[in-house]
């Protein structure tokens, strides 16, 4: 009888411990979100997404996570009615207890999985996180997961109405070989123009793709006194100067740091292969991560930072690509090889789309404006985004300074005229200001605009 009593007591004690474990609180850390974003970027590099498509992959998962977070946090405002016809997300079942941070992460991971190709790579990472949270409190985790998936379905349905599926079946871009002013494919792979219909993607905050239509490029002319030819010659002269200075020159280091070309063709004899890197948007998402870590931002502010930055980046690509295929301007490399020096090569490989305006300039201007609004001006940071690709850390005194360097890097790389850079930065900054003025995401910003 005594043995039975002892066994029963032990059983009750074990059962009690098990019950306590199953009701343990689940904490989602900013670092888990950073790791999730890093994993998605890693897979995007593997799958080779073009820069505009990559911007879409960032935006929707972040919006889904943000909407769930804002539903349970009085400091943040819903994007309902503010972003591209987005309606109110469904609310959780009132009979269930939901951890909103877990639900936000589930929605983020689920939508990311739908937008990439290598799903298994993300599922392995996702399951490792799920195992941690489920082990703390299975019932709470499962209810939170169910709600996160519900919101992912809602945002996914809204996402699928942004005209992206339709652009997959639209005609390919036709190269006008009879017009010397128009873009032509560039060496070494002579890839066809990517995403010629990106201006048809539904914008997030801007009114339309052409809302921030920039001034047109200088009139095409090969007369040596013309503004256009002077800009062409400047690209050539800068390239020759860099060539003389060698690989250790500051200009080459800047060009390589901001290269961010997801697909660089390499030819060795009869063999051609690609080296893969992050996109321009991914670099600025990396800077958002750096700023969040430096400021010890909590989970909510980290989601906010990623979301606002990714929205600015996505609209910047829509705006930039609208101009690229309107002006359809020929790249410096093509004209220099035709009219100045047939053996000249740019420091960087010319990307496969028209020249004007510079995508790096527009996107960097917009992203830097959004990040300045979040973290403040004169925000010093060490940018280690490119360390994984063998490049050293570069330091900046502000996001604006980083954007200016990203823009001029395209001149050093030999792939853009000065006007595309300078007008592009203004285009991006104007767009970024419009985003922060019209996207009310925090209670303070709403009160400031509605005193």
In a domain, 386, yes or no: yes
* Same domain membership, residue 105 and residue 214: no
In a domain, 158, yes or no: yes
**Residues across the chain:** 451
In a domain, 342, yes or no: yes
* Same domain membership, residue 377 and residue 256: yes
pLDDT of residue 304: 98
Burial class of residue 142, CB neighbours in 10 A (0-12, 13-18, 19+): middle
* Same domain membership, residue 252 and residue 126: no
Among 138, 165, 192, give the residue marking a domain's end: 165
The domain spanning residue 280 has which CATH number? 1.10.606.20
* Same domain membership, residue 425 and residue 339: yes
pLDDT of residue 205: 98
Task: Specify the number of domains making up the chain.
Answer: 2
DSSP string, 95-141: TS---HHHHHHHHHHHHHHHHSS-HHHHHHHHHHHHHHHHHH-HHHH
| CB-side neighbour CA atoms (13 Å) of 91 | 5
Give the DSSP H or E segment for 444.
helix 443-449
**Domain containing 71: what range?**
26-165
| Neighbouring C-beta atoms of residue 121, cutoff 10 Å | 17
In a domain, 6, yes or no: no
Q: List the structure tokens of 339.
A: 């009219």
Q: Tokens 């020929």 map to which residue?
A: 330
Give the DSSP H or E segment for 315.
helix 299-327
In a domain, 281, yes or no: yes
Among 135, 165, 195, give the residue marking a domain's end: 165
In a domain, 227, yes or no: yes
pLDDT of residue 264: 83
Q: 357 preceded by cis ω (within 30°)? A: yes
DSSP string, 145-192: HHHHHHHHHHHHHHHTTSSHHHHTTSPPPPP-TT-TTB----TTT-PP
* Same domain membership, residue 217 and residue 102: no
In a domain, 33, yes or no: yes
Among 165, 199, 231, give the residue marking a domain's end: 165
* Same domain membership, residue 333 and residue 212: yes
In tens digits, what is the pLDDT along the chain, a chain of 451 residues?
434 433 344 444 444 444 444 679 999 999 999 999 999 999 999 999 999 999 999 999 999 999 999 999 999 999 999 999 999 999 999 999 999 999 999 999 999 999 999 999 999 999 999 999 999 999 999 999 999 999 999 999 999 999 999 999 999 999 999 999 999 999 998 999 999 999 999 999 999 999 999 999 999 999 999 999 999 999 999 999 999 998 889 999 999 999 998 888 765 555 555 688 899 999 999 999 999 999 999 999 999 999 999 999 999 999 999 999 999 999 999 999 999 999 999 999 999 999 999 999 999 999 999 999 999 999 999 999 999 989 999 999 999 999 999 999 999 999 999 999 999 999 999 999 999 999 999 988 654 555 4
* Same domain membership, residue 297 and residue 346: yes
* Same domain membership, residue 194 and residue 144: no
Q: List the structure tokens of 446.
A: 């709403």
* Same domain membership, residue 76 and residue 157: yes
* Same domain membership, residue 151 and residue 46: yes
* Same domain membership, residue 298 and residue 152: no
In a domain, 12, yes or no: no
* Same domain membership, residue 364 and residue 265: yes
Query: Is the pTM here over 0.95, yes or no?
Result: no
């Amino acid at each position: 009888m005594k043995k039975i009593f002892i066994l029963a007591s032990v059983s009750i004690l074990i059962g009690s411990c098990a019950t306590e474990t199953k009701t343990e609180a689940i904490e989602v850390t900013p670092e888990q979100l950073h790791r999730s974003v890093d994993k998605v970027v890693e897979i995007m590099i593997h799958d080779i997404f073009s820069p505009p498509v990559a911007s879409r992959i960032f935006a929707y998962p972040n919006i889904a996570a943000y909407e769930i977070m804002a539903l349970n946090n009085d400091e943040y405002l819903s994007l309902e009615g503010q972003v591209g016809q987005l309606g109110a997300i469904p609310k959780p079942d009132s009979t269930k207890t939901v951890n909103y941070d877990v639900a936000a992460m589930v929605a983020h991971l689920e939508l990311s999985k739908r937008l990439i190709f290598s799903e298994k790579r993300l599922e392995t990472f996702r399951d490792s996180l799920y195992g941690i949270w489920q082990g703390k409190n299975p019932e709470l985790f499962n209810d939170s997961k169910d709600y996160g998936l519900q919101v992912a379905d809602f945002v996914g349905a809204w996402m699928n109405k942004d005209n992206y599926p339709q652009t997959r079946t639209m005609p390919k871009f036709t190269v006008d070989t009879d017009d010397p002013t128009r873009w032509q494919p560039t060496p070494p792979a002579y890839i066809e123009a990517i995403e010629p219909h990106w201006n048809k993607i539904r914008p997030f905050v801007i009114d339309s793709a052409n809302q921030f239509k920039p001034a047109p490029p200088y009139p095409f002319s090969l007369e040596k006194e013309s503004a256009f030819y002077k800009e062409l010659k400047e690209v050539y002269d800068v390239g020759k100067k860099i060539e003389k200075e060698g690989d250790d020159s500051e200009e080459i280091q800047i060009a390589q740091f901001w290269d961010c070309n997801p697909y660089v063709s390499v030819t060795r004899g009869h063999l051609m292969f690609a080296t893969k890197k992050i996109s321009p948007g991914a670099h600025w998402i990396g800077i958002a991560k750096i700023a969040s870590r430096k400021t010890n931002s909590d989970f909510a502010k980290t989601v906010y930072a990623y979301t606002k930055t990714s929205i600015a980046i996505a609209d910047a690509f829509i705006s930039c690509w609208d101009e690229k295929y309107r002006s359809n301007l020929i790249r410096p490399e093509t004209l220099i090889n035709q009219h100045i020096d047939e053996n000249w090569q740019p420091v960087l490989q010319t990307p496969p789309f028209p020249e004007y305006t510079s995508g790096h300039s527009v996107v960097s201007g917009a992203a830097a404006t959004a990040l300045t609004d979040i973290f403040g001006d004169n925000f010093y940071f060490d940018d280690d985004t490119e360390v994984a690709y063998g490049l050293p850390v570069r330091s900046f005194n502000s996001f604006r300074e980083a954007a200016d360097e990203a823009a001029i890097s395209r001149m050093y790389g030999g792939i853009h005229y000065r006007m595309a850079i300078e007008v592009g930065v203004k285009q991006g900054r104007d767009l970024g200001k419009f985003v922060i003025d019209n996207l009310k995401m925090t209670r303070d910003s709403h009160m400031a605009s509605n005193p």
